[in-house]
Structure 1
Amino acid sequence: MTYTDRESASVDIYDLLFVLFVGLKLSDHIAWSWFWVAFPLVLKVAIQVGALVVVKIADRRGW
């Protein structure tokens, strides 16, 4: 796959935290539940859905 149109894959802090937490969980350095290990991804999706809801409401009201 080539990136001719200036496309790029980005990794944000939520993805990095998730990978770190999975590594720590699998190596038995933390004893958290899998919910807390996956929480950075849950938080990322919640923020995106919340932003989408705000934009849709603002669009309907003509702001």
Structure 2
Amino acid sequence: MPDQQQFHEAAGPTRTNKTTTRRAELGSGRRARSLITEAQKAHKTDMRAATIVARRAGYLL
């Protein structure tokens, strides 16, 4: 039976890792508008996903 570490590697990156990575890509020092613009590019004009990214990064409440 594979150990815990191998299991997690096989399962792929977790949701938390994806969020953290995207937050790092977008940059933490930007205003909400430019953050949403960057997120929109990443999500191919998916405004809902872009807003969620901005909210998770702490720019929208």
Which TM-score applies when normalising by structure 1?
0.31
Which TM-score applies when normalising by structure 2?
0.32
**Which structure carries more relative contact order (alpha carbon 8 Å, separation 6+)?**
1
Larger Rg: 1
